[in-house]
Amino acid sequence: MAPMSDEAVDRAQRAVEEGISRDFSTAMSYGAYLDLGTLLSAQHPRSEPVQHDELLFIVQHQVSELWLKLLLHELRSARALFASDELGPALKRLARVKHVQRQLVEMWDVLATLTPSEYAQIRPFLATSSGFQSDQYRAVEFLLGNKNAEMLRVFEHDARAHRGLEELLHEPTLYDELLRLLARRGYPVPAEVLERDVSLPYRLVPGLVEVFAAVYAAPAEHWGVYETCEELVDVEDLFQQWRFRHLQVVTRTIGHKVGTGGSSGVDFLRRALDLTFFPELYEVRTRVG
């Protein structure tokens, strides 16, 4: 075979431009900035002999935790912006929250490629570990309003996680701060909402449905609030999609087996579908029109 001409070589490969940095002995590199040495060395299969599919299981859950970290970052910021009456920037945060949620939902498709037989080779090595023990997932639920003090017992072994969740338990939720913002703007938010014990799970208040009914009856007059309500419904919708995909993947992978963390598995996950963060925003829909 005849050797390739210089012109053919140029067409077959992309030349490294002269201005591209090559020496990182003192300069910041991509790997150093992202601490890739730490990140890519954090996958430790436990199976013996090592099972091919365990890396998928580990990476899937580690990436989920990274997305949850960003989700918490954005939700905390949105809550702070509500508290300081900055509705526009808060909506920008919620828009990003929804994009992160979509990534989390789509990730279940990758884990669904794990068949029951393949997962059975990995499951014994999980021991009692379970996604139920994700403190970041629990923190997201606390921020959105599904608070449960009993959950803190699961994290007594981890001082950092326990402390963080205990703080969130006693802090206002994202919804609490929105409702306080509405009250400051003159909306007749019931006193029982504004004075509630924020450490308890949020419960529907009929009087607040009336407030949102007025907003939905005249969207143009309440556009910022109206748009925010719909953003929160989107957030809850996507959270439910995540829950449902979780349920479906668990069902196709282990059927009705008990979960590794001791839960009833599929039945436990199915009950979560009945939970709601923003009940008045759903109840008001029976009033529209």
Nearest to 269 by CA among 257, 282, 278, 283: 257
Question: Any known ligand binding at 60?
Answer: yes
- 3-state DSSP call for residue 133? helix
Sorted by sequence, the CB contacts under 8 Å of residue 220 that are 6+ apart come out as none
Q: Tell me the helix, strand and coil percentages in the chain, rounded to 5.
A: 65, 0, 35
Sorted by sequence, the CB contacts under 8 Å of residue 265 that are 6+ apart come out as 250, 254, 256, 257, 258, 259
Question: Any known ligand binding at 61?
Answer: yes
Question: Any known ligand binding at 59?
Answer: yes
Neighbour tally for 20: CB within 10 Å: 7
Question: Any known ligand binding at 228?
Answer: no
Question: Any known ligand binding at 123?
Answer: yes
* Residues 130-169: b if buried by 16+ CB within 10 A, e if exposed: eebbbbbbbbbbbbbbbbeeebbebbeeeeebbebbeebb
- CA 214, CA 183: separation in Å to the nearest integer? 14
Neighbour tally for 250: CB within 10 Å: 21
Peptide bond preceding 201 in cis form (omega within 30 of 0): no
Question: Any known ligand binding at 119?
Answer: yes
Binding site for substrate: residue ranges?
57-61, 119, 123, 260
Binding site for heme: residue ranges?
246
Binding site: residue ranges?
57-61, 119, 123, 246, 260
